[in-house]
A and B are shown apart, each in its own frame.
Chain A
Amino acid sequence: MERLRYTLAVLVDNEAGVLSQVSRLFARKGYNIESLAVGTTDDPAVSRMTIEVLAEAEPQIRLLVNQLSKLFPVHTVKLLDQAHSVRRELLLVKVAAETPEARNEIIQLANVFRANIIDVTPEALTIAVIGEEGKNDALMNLIELHGIKELARTGVIALERGAATIDEDTKVRDEFDYGKNVR
């Protein structure tokens, strides 16, 4: 079956072992995590994970969400729709630039992509760029011609567009309708 790319925003207890519990669930249900970013939230007891995964379309992805919701350290799982969310990734790349011409060309490329040069040596440049994977991939493809020496990506983080927040999915007991929540 064809697998599509899904983005899950997950609020979890900020405790030791939670990451392995979440990642292990993907492994034992047969999913490979494409990208994973974790950080604290405004509540120090809660961390937010953004997980990108290739999965079959509904209802399969819904099963994964339900399994994830069942883990006790998990507060909320929100399936973020690519069209209705803003998504960003930070990419750091060290590029070979041994001649002034190469350096100039790379700097120009970086400017086009609104990337920053954050480290310079006579042999190499390090570029930082923030964007969606598509933009970052495009920059990488161009820079590859100069020779990528080293690369690091944070993985995507994402928020829903508009005023809605994940907290609305953090089910308040009175409002939560179990019967209807299963699609």
Chain B
Amino acid sequence: MRLTGARIVMECLLEQGVDTVFGYPGGTILNVYDALYDYRDKIRHYRTAHEQGAAHAADGYARSTGKVGVCLATSGPGSTNLVTGIATAMMDSSPVVFITCNVGESLIGKDSFQEVDITGITMPITKCNYLVHQADELADVIREAFAIARSGRPGPVLIDILKNATAEEADYERLPLEEQHRHGRLAQLLGRASHDMTAPEPDLADIDRLVELIKASEKPLIICGGGVVRGRAHEELATFAELVDAPVAITIMGAGGFNGRNPLTTGMIGMHGSMASNQAVDSCDLLIALGTRFSDRVALDPATFAAQAKIVQVDIDRSEINKNVQTDHHIVGDVRRVLQLLNERVQRKYNFAWKNYVFSFPTETKYSLAGDALTPKQISDAVARIAPWDSIVATDVGQHQMWVTQHFHYDYPGQLLTSGGFGSMGFGLGAAIGAKVSHPEKTVLHITGDGSFRMNCNELATVAYYDLPITTIIFDNRTLGMVRQWQTLIYDERYSETDIAKEPDYVKLAEAYGLSGKRVSNVRDFEEALKEALASGHGYVIDCAIDKDEKVRPMVQGGDPITQFILN
């Protein structure tokens, strides 16, 4: 049948099973929004306050559901406003398809109004991107884009469509999802094994070698990285860890990949990792790294990292092997499949002495609870007491991000939404919106700092407009806490541009958006406010006054050996 390009976009979204999109309309994407008007029963669109918020929302949707997120934006500033969101998704391997429109063919290259080369700009921060000139290319490109976004190591893909291609008509034939790999560009791409869209089947000899290494090991350690979360391999990992009887250190992206209440977990690893995790890395004789790239926040000093261990890296992306840390053995494949094969082969082990040693170090930081003043630990503990155990937590970036990663137990993949790789302040509220619309039955908490919250608090407008019951908890220390912490420890207390002496009144701000808010400075008030917020059924902002000299502990400086704590 003949359809306009804009309608083809809608039909293709339906082919992919998309029922929720985020975005912001504008001049060049008008045709698409016009078509959306006819599809509004099938595709729910959430309009945010700013395109960046839409990008983070689509990302949060993808991370919490495991499905592909979709985000629409117009040309020029609409598309450049997505850039931070795209890079955030890229660094954390989150599958999002961004659809932008550009000016029409006749205006391209003329510095027309709201024209920008967004495919050029996003080249290094997308898995792949497309510039579509004609309506008849659209269906093929969209099908390939979704397949690429979700396959292998997931990631963002951008499709930029010229405005004329959304207006003109082309033949469209509906193609069920399971048929798509046999047609068009996707069939061609799949013909080349270099871009196998299914995960590579792990090599059995490689698996057997790891089984041998495990057998020979007396001090095994597992690192649970983001790949375990993306690959939803949490159940397989639980079995594996028990079989090998190995402690499991969790990276920030791995949170939820291994149950935070499992007695085998040593907590977070790296710069703000627990003493147990970091000491275990230093002393283990076998390190099994699952779906982690050994970033500089984990393997702070690659040369001394797990120096006594045979390092085994399991990753779906072979270009990650040996990129940051030199490994002794590796397996390329989907971590879930690798763990299934391992679980069939590994013999039950017991490493009592090793576990006793590792768990003689604390897996959590002991923060003092003394006094009447509110502390980050008290806030976290109160949240853990009051909010449902399966609440989804979206964070921004900084001290609060580390505190809630350290203090909360994450029990399933997609429970913690945080910008671990790119470290985008302002990620949390958008991500919380994406999580809430996809999980209306779950409690969604947006935990932020005052610095991060100021970046994208405009999305409170979205929270209010769609009446999303999201509770924002601000760790408000009137300073950019993490930067200040570095200034205290490393820059001789020279507090350059970090203190925020005059903060907006966040309660009034919430009220201005039609939401409720409360400022609290002791635990009892906080508990009350949180109960009220959760019971209210609407958006709510709790502004928690904490001391500006609260620090994230422990801490190892970037580039230092992992057990060289400058704070503990």
Contact partner, A178, options B120, B190, B192, B200, Cβ 8 Å: B200
A79–B200 CA distance with the chains assembled, in angstroms: 22
Question: Smallest Cβ distance from B397 to chain A, in angstroms?
Answer: 23
Determine whether A5 belongs to the interface, using a CB cutoff of 8 Å to chain B: no
Contact partner, B333, options A67, A179, A181, Cβ 8 Å: A179
- Which residues from chain B contact A21 at a C-beta distance below 8 Å? 123
Task: Considering the complex, give the chain A residue whose CB is closest to the CB of B127.
Answer: A72
6 residue pairs, one from A and one from B, having the closest CB atoms: A179-B203, A178-B200, A173-B193, A66-B319, A171-B193, A176-B193
Contact partner, A72, options B195, B196, B203, B321, Cβ 8 Å: B195
Determine whether A59 belongs to the interface, using a CB cutoff of 8 Å to chain B: yes
- Which residues from chain B contact A66 at a C-beta distance below 8 Å? 318-319, 321
Q: With A171-B194, A176-B193 in contact, is A182–B123 under 8 Å at CB? A: no
A178–B334 CA distance with the chains assembled, in angstroms: 12
Determine whether B332 belongs to the interface, using a CB cutoff of 8 Å to chain A: yes
Q: With A21-B123, A182-B318 in contact, is A76–B194 under 8 Å at CB? A: yes
B residues 163-193 in Cβ contact with A at 8 Å: 189-193
CB atoms of B196 and A67 under 8 A apart: no
Contact partner, A24, options B124, B194, B200, B202, Cβ 8 Å: B124
Interface 1/0s, chain B 119-146, versus A by CB < 8 A? 1100110011001000000000000000
- Which residues from chain B contact A84 at a C-beta distance below 8 Å? none
CB atoms of A24 and B322 under 8 A apart: no
Question: Smallest Cβ distance from A77 to chain B, in angstroms?
Answer: 9
Determine whether B331 belongs to the interface, using a CB cutoff of 8 Å to chain A: yes
CB atoms of B196 and A63 under 8 A apart: no
- Which residues from chain B contact A179 at a C-beta distance below 8 Å? 200, 202-203, 205-206, 331-333
CB atoms of A181 and B318 under 8 A apart: yes
- Jot down 6 A-B pairs with beta carbons below 8 A, ordered by A: A20-B123, A63-B323, A74-B194, A75-B192, A75-B194, A176-B194
A28–B189 CA distance with the chains assembled, in angstroms: 25
- Which residues from chain B contact A4 at a C-beta distance below 8 Å? none
CB atoms of B318 and A178 under 8 A apart: yes
- Which residues from chain A contact B202 at a C-beta distance below 8 Å? 179
- Which residues from chain B contact A101 at a C-beta distance below 8 Å? none
A residues 4-45 in Cβ contact with B at 8 Å: 17, 20-21, 24-25, 28
A residues 135-183 in Cβ contact with B at 8 Å: 170-182
For A, the interface residue count at a CB cutoff of 8 angstroms equals: 30
Determine whether B446 belongs to the interface, using a CB cutoff of 8 Å to chain A: no
- Which residues from chain B contact A170 at a C-beta distance below 8 Å? 192, 194
Task: Considering the complex, give the chain B residue whose CB is closest to the CB of A66.
Answer: B319
Footprint of B on A, CB under 8 Å? 17, 20-21, 24-25, 28, 59, 62-63, 66-67, 69-70, 72, 74-76, 170-182
CB atoms of A28 and B318 under 8 A apart: no
Task: Considering the complex, give the chain B residue whose CB is closest to the CB of A72.
Answer: B128
B residues 295-322 in Cβ contact with A at 8 Å: 317-319, 321-322
- Which residues from chain B contact A75 at a C-beta distance below 8 Å? 192, 194
Q: With A21-B123, A24-B124, A179-B202 in contact, is A59–B322 under 8 Å at CB? A: yes
Q: With A21-B123, A178-B333 in contact, is A70–B193 under 8 Å at CB? A: no
Question: Smallest Cβ distance from B153 to chain A, in angstroms?
Answer: 9
- Which residues from chain B contact A171 at a C-beta distance below 8 Å? 192-194
A180–B321 CA distance with the chains assembled, in angstroms: 12
Add 18 more A-B contacts to A24-B124, A178-B200, A179-B202 (CB < 8 A).
A17-B123, A59-B326, A66-B318, A69-B319, A70-B317, A72-B128, A72-B148, A72-B195, A170-B194, A172-B193, A173-B196, A178-B203, A178-B333, A179-B203, A179-B206, A181-B318, A181-B332, A182-B332
Task: Considering the complex, give the chain B residue whose CB is closest to the CB of A76.
Answer: B194
Question: Smallest Cβ distance from B421 to chain A, in angstroms?
Answer: 15
Determine whether B551 belongs to the interface, using a CB cutoff of 8 Å to chain A: no
Question: Smallest Cβ distance from A62 to chain B, in angstroms?
Answer: 8
Question: Smallest Cβ distance from B160 to chain A, in angstroms?
Answer: 11
Task: Considering the complex, give the chain B residue whose CB is closest to the CB of A16.
Answer: B131
- Which residues from chain B contact A182 at a C-beta distance below 8 Å? 318, 321-322, 330, 332
A172–B190 CA distance with the chains assembled, in angstroms: 10
CB atoms of B206 and A63 under 8 A apart: no
- Which residues from chain B contact A76 at a C-beta distance below 8 Å? 194
B residues 19-34 in Cβ contact with A at 8 Å: none
CB atoms of A72 and B319 under 8 A apart: no
- Which residues from chain A contact B318 at a C-beta distance below 8 Å? 66, 178, 181-182
A170–B131 CA distance with the chains assembled, in angstroms: 26
- Which residues from chain A contact B200 at a C-beta distance below 8 Å? 178-179
- Which residues from chain B contact A20 at a C-beta distance below 8 Å? 120, 123
Residue among B127, B131, B193, B333 with max Cβ neighbours from chain A (10 Å): B193
- Which residues from chain A contact B201 at a C-beta distance below 8 Å? 178
- Which residues from chain A contact B119 at a C-beta distance below 8 Å? 17
CB atoms of B333 and A28 under 8 A apart: no
A16–B317 CA distance with the chains assembled, in angstroms: 26
CB atoms of B194 and A69 under 8 A apart: yes
Interface 1/0s, chain B 327-339, versus A by CB < 8 A? 0001111000000
Task: Considering the complex, give the chain A residue whose CB is closest to the CB of B131.
Answer: A17
- Which residues from chain B contact A17 at a C-beta distance below 8 Å? 119-120, 123, 131
CB atoms of A180 and B203 under 8 A apart: yes
- Which residues from chain A contact B192 at a C-beta distance below 8 Å? 75, 170-171, 173
